[in-house]
Amino acid sequence: MVVALTIAGSDSGGGAGIQADLKTLAALGVYGTSAITAITAQNTRGVTAVQALEPAMVVAQIDAVASDLRPAATKIGMLANAGIIHAVVEALSRLQLPNVVLDPVMVAKGGDHLLDPAAVSALRDALVPLATVVTPNVPEAEVLTGLTIVTTADLHSACRRLVGLGAQSVLVKGGHLKGSATDVWSDGSRFVELSAERIDTAHTHGTGCTLSSAIAAGLARGLEIEAAIRAAKDYVTGAIRHAPGLGGGHGPLGHFWHLTSGI
- Does 173 participate in catalysis according to the annotation? yes
What is the CATH T-level fold of the domain 3-260, as seen in this structure? UDP-N-acetylmuramoyl-L-alanine:D-glutamate ligase (3.40.1190)
Give long-range contacts, CB 8 A cutoff, 24+ apart: 54-62.
Answer: 55/83, 55/84, 55/86, 55/87, 56/87, 58/7, 58/84, 58/87, 58/88, 58/91, 59/87, 59/88, 59/90, 59/91, 61/34, 61/35, 61/36, 62/5, 62/7, 62/35, 62/88, 62/91, 62/95
Query: From the candidates 37, 135, 207, 210, which is the catalytic residue?
Result: 207
Measured distance CA(95)–CA(116) in Å, rounded: 26
247 annotated active-site: no
For 137-176, write each residue's pLDDT tens digit. Answer: 999 999 999 999 998 899 999 999 999 999 999 999 987 6
Indicate if 222 belongs to the active site: no
Residue type for 109, please?
K
Model pLDDT for residues 166-212, shown as the tens digit of each residue? 999 999 998 767 777 789 999 999 999 998 888 889 999 999 999 99
Q: Which residues pair with 193 in a beta bridge?
A: 184
- Active-site option among 173, 210, 237, 251: 173
Closest residue by Cα to residue 17 from 78, 74, 104: 78
Q: What's this model's pTM, rounded to 2 decimal places?
A: 0.95
Q: Catalytic site residue 44?
A: no
Question: Is 209 among the residues known to form the active site?
Answer: yes
Distance CA 168, CA 128 (A): 9
48 is catalytic: no
pLDDT (mean) for 227-256: 96
Beta strands, E only, 139-238: 170-172, 181-186, 191-196
Q: How large is the average pLDDT for residues 57-77?
A: 98
State the pLDDT confidence band at 258, using cuts at 50, 70 and 90.
Answer: confident
Among residues 14, 33, 135, 209, which one is catalytic? 209
Q: Any idea where the domains of the chain sit in the sequence?
A: 3-260
Task: Note the pLDDT of residue 177.
Answer: 76
Q: Cα dihedral sign for 115, 117, 119, 120?
A: positive
Pick the catalytic residue: 83, 206, 251, 254? 206
Question: β-pairing, 3-11 with 31-43?
Answer: parallel
